[in-house]
Amino acid sequence: MEIFHFPALACAGRVIHGFATRKGGVSEGAYATLNCGGSGDMRENVLSNRKDLCQALGLDPHKLVCLHQVHGIEVVRVGPGGYTPSERSAVLKEGDALITREVDLPLAIMTADCLPIILVDPVSPAVGIVHAGWRGTLQGILPRAVREMERTLGSLLPNLWAGIGPGIAPCCYEVGEEVAGPFRERYPGWRAWLWPGREGRYRLDLARANLLQLKELGIPEQQIGLVGRCTCCHPSLFFSHRREHGKTGRMMSLVALSP
Ligand SMILES: [Zn+2]
């Protein structure tokens, strides 16, 4: 298994977190090997992979909280006992961010090019995790999650730490006018992370766009970590929706307050 961490987010052992890669696990073919979600793979393999990952991090797989991710802006606050285990997709809530101040409740997001972003407030304490693709980034899912932590969990923005996980980077992320146009319209500072490429297309730097959203909220840049690896460029390390034309697995990112 190969899992990305930021030492600062661990808060001296009070927070458990990780951005898993595809390494480890039992899945085969397009889903090899640590596939933790999506559709197409055998259910028992996905559950076995999730269990292995949770155990590697010292977390209870039965407490895992997942979402039915829909590229929207719904932030789900998880109270005592969670809202449901992750086993049956039919009972999953729709949303793209999870926040909690409960201990021993692992929050999970699945990605394969979109960005997983972990939020940690060591003071309250509280944690959150966000799924940000281009739609979520455009609509501001990350600032919404941060504001929900502030509003409902009492987090103060200067106390927040963030880790931006692996996602598709501008080397591979070319988008059309239907994506670039709405960004230019909504964000006057778009030139910092969106630039013209060939034949009327654009290169989009999702990680930088989200990093700047955090900075604009007043979260100090030295409290923001960036994995900075492109999921599309590294087939042995990451699943990539774009590289594999949709037929691929999902990597799981996790955060929990230590029991
Ligand atoms: Zn790339």
How is residue 119 written in tokens?
A: 């939020």
Report the distance separating Cα 53 and Cα 45, nearest Å: 12
Between the CA of 16 and the centroid of ligand 1 the distance, in Å, is: 28
Between the CA of 126 and the centroid of ligand 1 the distance, in Å, is: 33
Query: What value does the mean pLDDT take over residues 99-127?
Result: 97
Least confident of 72-81, 166-175, 199-208, 222-231: 72-81
Between the CA of 249 and the centroid of ligand 1 the distance, in Å, is: 18
Query: What value does the mean pLDDT take over residues 101-106?
Result: 94
Residue 159, helix vs strand vs coil: helix
Q: Which phi and psi angles does 194 have, rounded to 5°?
A: -140, 120
Spatial contact of 168 and 244, defined as CB atoms under 8 Å apart: no
**What predicted TM-score, i.e. pTM, was given to this entire model?**
0.97
Between the CA of 172 and the centroid of ligand 1 the distance, in Å, is: 4
Query: What value does the mean pLDDT take over residues 241-256?
Result: 97
Report the distance separating Cα 4 and Cα 10, nearest Å: 12
Name the one residue in this structure whose structure tokens are 């990952």.
Answer: 53
- pLDDT tens figures, 41-93: 999 999 999 999 999 999 999 889 999 999 999 999 998 866 655 554 556 88
Average pLDDT over the chain, rounded to an integer: 94
Between the CA of 224 and the centroid of ligand 1 the distance, in Å, is: 21
Res 199 pLDDT > 80: yes
Query: What value does the mean pLDDT take over residues 195-216?
Result: 96
CATH number of the domain located at residue range(s) 3-169+220-257 in this protein: 3.60.140.10
